[in-house]
């Protein structure tokens, strides 16, 4: 047995106990984690300093170093979000459906944990705590595999969490960390079908694609977002400009940020007149098709075909002109990653058509795509945003970390 | 573009129209299929005769030839089951949840089709019609890839189905058949991520493992069943014997048939005394652990370690003796494929413990595992039985061929 197989076996064993742990015990474990992280924060910060030192030596970009950094304020936030997860209702055990069949069998569909969940992710150490808390709350065991940049921070906090849950009577093996951060260990994790029920990648496009392409374990694909704002000719243009500015600029690095605005030709000039002054504030680069370039002159640059499929994650916006909603829907169908899509319109029929026909996790009328988020949707914390169509779509909260089983009560039924 | 990519593109295009097709149009298309298959059955049977001729020449086993064969009675059954699918409620469009958020956004979770579904399967030509009907009813487009043994039968019936749905105003490309039955075409289908939203394998263990191991498209794993009947010491032994006989012998080739009986040591001899005379009727071979062998003598043969993990699909039964429920639960946890598991008991606590702790799609008290089936569970027709824990578990009916999206009504909301 390899080290990872042993880890899988121990996680599976822990998941059997987790599956029947009652809500109060799971919540008690989460509160122990919150308390211990709060109390032992110096330990975690010291380990984080080692990671930061190594990161600086390797020449990591300042924005990434910022994401890797822990401080008191961030740890306070992590402790707070643990308490919020405790406060959420436990979905496990819920009866989803039930039927008494003509032959007398009583069949109930009961919500149960998935089992052993793998999470493979990049630098941010807060993900380690988030992911562990959400999987514990839902009665799962978790195998975490963070990036090598955060390995010392992750070791420290997983150590704290394992001790905390053990003191609450939950098996410490319900939270496991893969400390070998080689490419080989990632590949092995992707094929650990005997122990792993699902693998969730969280991070950049390359990480996600690599997991989707290589894993034989079931995967939930997350996070790629080439999101569009479509400004239909009847739109309130000032409202549209504000929504576009918010969707593009409020936090450009995240997956629900807009990458492209699609504008009906009839309102091309007046809409750009309303929107560009806002975008100027953040020096947003505009990559334009021919018609938009005619209006914008030197304020725009010509778009290439790659622009229509690029998730910039940056202060860059593609600008596409269309004749009408037909063309806009076609363009979205050809270039959307199925994450979040919005129409700005005053026309009832145009709005309903957009909501019905656009194939994405979240479709909006007159609102920013930035709302596609577990907290904003009222699901509580989220483990990621699914861009695939099986199992879960859009923000994944606690329910999306569960499965179900059929519980069947008989009294001697046989099949004829 | 390869031929398969072109097919994917056409299926995706059709899926956009299917997604907004109303229930009456989809039902009308299904009735057209039923009517045309009924009317043009000679065409289908003639094509099937070609397949049967080739099968006989290649020396195919008689039981497989039987599964490949069409006749009037089977076609009547297929037509009948199409009518039953028409009668089922259409799950598409259902609002699963809805919330008005404090900021005024109204968010509704709406059930939608998955999109383009791939089905990869083996010989039986009725699967071609079943799979197409269930995917059409749920507003999806389907790419079918049957086995080479049934290629002529499949071509004929897909041709009939495409003409039938076109005459009902549904795009014929909503039903596509991959006519290249090479291994390469199967591999390409498993990587058609740009067009395929999910791939469902139906067939033997080798087919399913190959798809699970190789696909980069999301897969729903179906059908492997090493199912157990556990006879607890307080069981009504005659009732247990009847249930075991039914679970093993009523149709041994299917995935919900029992492969192993686990018996509490305290009732080992009396239970075998009750059960073996029934099993004798079907000449069931008994592969026994040491204790069972002591009781059975020459009626049994010694089991090897492989027996505990084998899906026989045949008149063979493994016999395992345990001390108590603890040992039984451990044995099931180690050897179950997570399909269907049953306990025979008169003890309330033993029953509840079994239902809570056994991790399988369906867990039974005092009933045969043979009931794990879409029809028997009241779901209507089924596309297969999932043995994975994400998306769907157990029998997959119409709802399991759907996804959802969040439809968000705003009036200018931006994220602060």
Cβ neighbours of A363 in B, within 8 Å: 405-408
Q: Rounded CA gap, B235 and B367, in Å?
A: 12
Cβ neighbours of B389 in A, within 8 Å: 114-115, 197-198, 218, 403
Residue of B nearest to A12 (CA): B333
Cβ neighbours of A406 in B, within 8 Å: 361-363, 372, 377, 393-394
Give the burial class of A134: count Cβ atoms within 10 A of its Cβ; 0-12 exposed, 13-18 middle, 19 or more buried.
buried
Q: Do A408 and B363 touch (CB under 8 A)?
A: yes
Rg (CA), chain A: 24
Domain with A286 in it: what CATH number?
3.40.309.10
Residue B228 in tokens: 């157990």
Same domain, A68 and A213: yes
Whether A366 has its CB under 8 Å from any CB of chain B: the answer is: yes
Cβ neighbours of A376 in B, within 8 Å: 101, 415
Residue A111 in tokens: 């919500």
Distances (CA, A) of A410 to A289, B324, B344, B379: 66, 22, 10, 18
For residue A89, give the DSSP letter.
P
Kindly give, in sequence order, each residue whose CB lies less than 8 Å from that of residue B323, ignoring residues fewer than 6 positions away.
Answer: B264, B265
Cβ neighbours of A370 in B, within 8 Å: 414-415
Q: Rounded CA gap, B6 and B186, in Å?
A: 15
Supply the pLDDT for residue B63.
82
Same domain, A190 and A308: no
Supply the pLDDT for residue A231.
98
Distances (CA, A) of A301 to A176, B139, B206: 49, 42, 54
Instruction: Give the sign of the dihedral formed by CA A56, CA A60, CA A61, CA A66.
Output: negative
Q: Rounded CA gap, A98 and A112, in Å?
A: 15
Same domain, B81 and B114: yes
B 104-163 residues inside an 8 A Cβ radius of A: 105, 107, 112, 114-115
Report the mean per-residue pLDDT for chain A. Answer: 96
3-state SS class at B350: helix
What is the ipTM score, two decimals?
0.95
Same domain, A285 and A332: yes
Q: Rounded CA gap, B138 and B128, in Å?
A: 16
Same domain, A37 and A174: yes
Weakest-pLDDT range from A211-215, A262-266, B300-304: A211-215
Report the mean per-residue pLDDT for chain B. Answer: 96
Residue A273 lies in a domain: yes
Whether B374 has its CB under 8 Å from any CB of chain A: the answer is: no
Same domain, B312 and B165: no
pLDDT class of A77 with cuts at 50, 70, 90: very high
CA distance A393 to chain B (A): 7
Residue of A nearest to B338 (CA): A405
Same domain, A239 and A199: no
Q: Rounded CA gap, B276 and B255, in Å?
A: 23
Element (H, E) at A342: strand A340-344
Task: Give helix A151-167 / helix A23-39 axis angle, nearest 10°.
Answer: 130
Whether A389 has its CB under 8 Å from any CB of chain B: the answer is: yes
Q: Is the pLDDT of residue A224 over 90?
A: no
Supply the pLDDT for residue B125.
87
Residue A106 lies in a domain: yes
List pLDDT tens digits, range A310-346: 999 999 999 999 999 999 999 999 999 999 999 999 9
Q: Which domain holds residue A366?
A: 227-371
Of B193, B213, B360, the CB nearest to A216: B213
A 178-207 residues inside an 8 A Cβ radius of B: 193, 197-198
Closest CA to A211 of A231, A234, A188: A188
| Domains held by chain B: number | 2
Cβ neighbours of B415 in A, within 8 Å: 246, 250, 368, 370-371, 376
Residue A376 lies in a domain: no
Of A363, A407, A412, the CB nearest to B239: A412
Instruction: Give the sign of the dihedral formed by CA B134, CA B139, CA B140, CA B145.
Output: positive
Residue A379 lies in a domain: no
Q: Rounded CA gap, A93 and A111, in Å?
A: 5
Supply the pLDDT for residue A63.
82
CA distance B246 to chain A (A): 6
Q: What is the mean pLDDT of residues A382-407?
A: 96
Same domain, A166 and A256: no
- Largest CA-CA distance found in chain A, in angstroms, rounded: 81
Weakest-pLDDT range from A22-36, A117-131, A386-400, B233-247: A117-131
Supply the pLDDT for residue B73.
96
Residue B206 lies in a domain: no
Residue B34 in tokens: 């039923």
Instruction: Rounding to the nearest 10 degrees, give the CA dihedral for residues A283, A285, A289, A292.
Output: 10
Q: Are A393 and A337 in contact (CB under 8 A)?
A: no
Of B107, B245, B357, the CB nearest to A377: B107
Element (H, E) at B367: strand B362-367
List pLDDT tens digits, range A116-148: 999 999 878 889 999 999 999 999 999 999 999
Same domain, A281 and A402: no
Task: Give helix B41-57 / helix B72-87 axis angle, nearest 10°.
Answer: 120
Same domain, B400 and B342: no
Same domain, A122 and A73: yes
Cβ neighbours of A414 in B, within 8 Å: 242-243, 245-247, 250, 367-368, 370
Instruction: Rounding to the nearest 10 degrees, give the CA dihedral for residues B389, B198, B408, A313.
Output: 100
Residue B256 lies in a domain: yes
Q: Is the pLDDT of residue A41 over 90?
A: yes
The model carries a pTM of 0.94
Cβ neighbours of B397 in A, within 8 Å: none
Residue-by-residue pLDDT tens, chain B, 416 positions: 999 999 999 999 999 999 999 999 999 999 999 999 999 999 999 999 999 999 999 999 888 898 899 999 999 999 999 999 999 999 999 999 999 999 999 999 999 999 999 999 987 888 999 999 999 999 999 999 999 999 999 999 999 999 999 999 999 999 999 999 999 999 999 999 999 999 999 988 889 999 999 999 999 998 889 999 999 999 999 999 999 999 999 999 899 999 999 999 999 999 999 999 999 999 999 999 999 999 999 999 999 999 999 999 999 999 999 999 999 999 999 999 999 999 999 999 999 999 999 999 999 999 999 999 999 998 888 999 999 999 999 999 999 999 999 999 999 999 98
Same domain, B279 and B169: no
Residue A189 lies in a domain: yes
Whether A102 has its CB under 8 Å from any CB of chain B: the answer is: no
Q: Rounded CA gap, A17 and B48, in Å?
A: 53
Residue B209 lies in a domain: no
């Amino acid at each position: 047995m390899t080290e990872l197989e042993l880890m899988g076996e121990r996680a599976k064993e822990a998941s059997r106990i987790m599956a029947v742990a009652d809500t109060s015990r799971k919540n008690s474990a989460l509160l122990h984690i919150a308390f211990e992280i709060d109390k032992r924060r110096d330990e975690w910060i010291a380990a984080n300093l080692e990671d930061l030192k190594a990161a600086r030596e390797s020449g990591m970009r300042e924005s990434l170093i910022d994401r890797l950094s822990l401080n008191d304020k961030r740890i306070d936030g992590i402790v707070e979000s643990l308490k919020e997860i405790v406060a959420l209702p436990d979905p496990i055990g819920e009866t989803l459906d039930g039927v008494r069949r003509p032959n007398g069998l009583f069949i109930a569909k009961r919500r149960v944990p998935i089992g052993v969940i793998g999470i493979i992710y990049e630098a941010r150490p807060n993900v380690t705590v988030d992911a562990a808390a959400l999987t514990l709350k839902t009665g799962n065991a978790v195998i975490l595999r963070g990036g090598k940049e955060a390995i010392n921070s992750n070791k420290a906090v997983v150590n704290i969490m394992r001790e905390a849950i053990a003191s609450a009577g939950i098996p410490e093996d319900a939270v496991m960390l893969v400390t070998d951060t080689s490419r080989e260990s990632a590949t092995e994790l992707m094929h650990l079908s005997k122990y792993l029920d699902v693998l969730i990648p969280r991070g950049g496009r390359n990480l996600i694609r690599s997991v989707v392409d290589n894993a034989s374990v079931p995967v939930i694909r997350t996070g790629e977002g080439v999101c569009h704002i479509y400004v239909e000719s009847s739109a309130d243009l000032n409202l549209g400009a504000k929504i576009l500015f918010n969707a593009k600029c409020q936090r450009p690095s995240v997956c629900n940020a807009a990458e492209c605005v699609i504008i009906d030709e009839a309102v091309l000039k007046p809409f750009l007149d309303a929107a560009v002054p806002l975008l100027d504030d953040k020096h947003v680069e505009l990559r334009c098709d021919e018609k938009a370039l005619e209006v914008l002159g030197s304020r725009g640059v010509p778009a290439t075909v790659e622009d229509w499929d690029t998730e910039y994650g940056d202060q860059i916006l593609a600008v596409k002109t269309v004749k009408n909603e037909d063309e806009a829907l076609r363009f979205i169908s050809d270039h959307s990653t199925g994450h979040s899509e919005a129409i700005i319109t005053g026309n009832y029929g145009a709005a309903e058509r957009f909501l019905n026909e656009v194939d994405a996790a979240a479709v909006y009328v007159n609102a920013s795509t930035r709302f596609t988020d577990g907290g904003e949707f009222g699901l509580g914390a989220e483990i990621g945003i699914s861009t695939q169509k099986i199992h879960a779509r859009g923000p994944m909260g606690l329910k999306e970390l569960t499965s179900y089983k059929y519980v069947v009560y008989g009294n001697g039924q046989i099949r004829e």
